Every structure is written in C-alpha cells, then in structure tokens.
Chain A
C-alpha cells in the first residue's frame, strides 16, 4: 500500500457517519532493531474533522509561538484525534472505516 492513497481519505465510523479526513499516519520504531533501524510499525492515523492538511505540525507539538499563528492553527485543527491500528476495520481506496467500539486519543506527539 502507498501512503498517499491513505492521506486525505474520508474516515467513517461503523455506521457510515463521517468523522473527518486522514491528516497523517503515525509510526513507532519500537520493535527489535533489524539491520540499522527498527521497523517502523503503523501506530494509527490522525483524523482531522476539518482539513487533511497540516502546517508544520503546530497543533501536534504544543508550539505556542508566534502566538497568533499558533492560536489560529490550533483552532483550525480542533477536534483532531488519533485512532489506533487496532480500531481500523478497513482501509479502502476512498474511505477508512473504523470498528464499532473505536477509541479516540489525543493527537499530540509525545514529548
């Protein structure tokens, strides 16, 4: 699978209600190292209810300066959440379907 096919897809819950768009995909390098780096496993997808685009990840990294830009971008991305791989039922060519009991997590990056 190619990542660009996933980014920007609609995300719907198990009843077909639209939750937003895939704004990003989160990976973690936490398995046993192979040759040089660990395998980068898919942790989950970031779902943004308003826009699939992101600007420098302001809203995910807790940046506060310059203040007007940070406020604007935080407001624009309000309601973004992370859905783990375990809660994804299908990744289609048009939309991503979540499982009925999916859990939404905060989308901020760990610091």
Chain B
C-alpha cells in the first residue's frame, strides 16, 4: 500500500441516517456467530457467514440497481480460517436458505425441523452410524 493511499480522508459532514421502516440488522452484531435453533428449539448450528444475492465483484454497479438481499445463512469449517485468515471455499459452506428463517433475536430460529436441513448432517450421520449401534442407543430412554 502506497504512502498516499495510507493517508485517510474523512467526510466533511455526517448526516442523521434515514430510518428504514422495518427491523434493522447489522450483520456482525445481529447475525454472525449467532446460534440457530430449529422449530422445536433444537440447536442446529451457528451462522458463520452470509450469502448475498449480489453484486458481482469488481463490476460497476449501475445507478438505481436494486439492493442485494440475504439469500442464505452459511455454516462450515471456519475454525482454521478464523485463525489463519481467508475463508473456506464456497463449496464447503452449507446453506440455510433465508426463506426458512422465522425469527432473529438473541438466537436465530428457523421454521423447519433440523433433520430437513443439510447443516445437521454430521449429527444425523453420528446418530445413525455410531449412537444407534450402541446397545440401547436406538430408542428413547425409558
């Protein structure tokens, strides 16, 4: 980065922000790293990233273009990239479509059961292949 680029300029005037009509969410504060619960209150995963509907990177945005929206919550193996930087490739991230999200609070709730989401595949695999083979592990506790 050149010395000229490192020099920061600040806007001359900061105006009061317009107030959107609906709920306002800041991604880092209200969405990222939040726990996701399914319709029965069963933990599903945490939100590691968000998928937006646009814009295309490095392409000029035409004036009056419709704003992008969140298309999915993403979860995946991010521990390594949190420590060393970068992010996992897109195909390693599992999507939870925004259409199934039913509420955003201290936790994010989805309106479907955890079993119908790809995000819980590890838990299902362990249940079927490990827990289910332990004697007494294939039925509810009496």
Task: Judge: A and B partners, yes or no.
Answer: yes
Bound Cα distance A56, B87 (Å) = 22
Contact in complex: B103, A3 (CB < 8 Å): no
A78 and chain B: residue at smallest CB distance: B10
Contact in complex: B8, A18 (CB < 8 Å): yes
Contact residue range for chain A?
Answer: 35 or more
Contact in complex: B8, A37 (CB < 8 Å): no
Identify which of A24, A29, A103 contacts B29 (C-beta below 8 A).
A24
Interface residues of B (CB under 8 A from A): 5-11, 13-29, 32, 49-61, 63-64, 67-70, 74, 87, 90, 93, 98-104, 111
Interface residues of A (CB under 8 A from B): 1-5, 7, 13, 16-20, 23-31, 34-43, 46, 49, 54, 56-57, 60, 79, 81-82, 84-86, 88-93, 99, 102-110
Interchain Cβ contacts under 8 Å between A and B, 19 examples: A1-B68, A2-B87, A4-B49, A7-B27, A18-B9, A26-B25, A26-B27, A27-B70, A28-B21, A29-B23, A36-B111, A37-B98, A39-B69, A49-B10, A81-B14, A90-B58, A92-B57, A103-B15, A105-B18
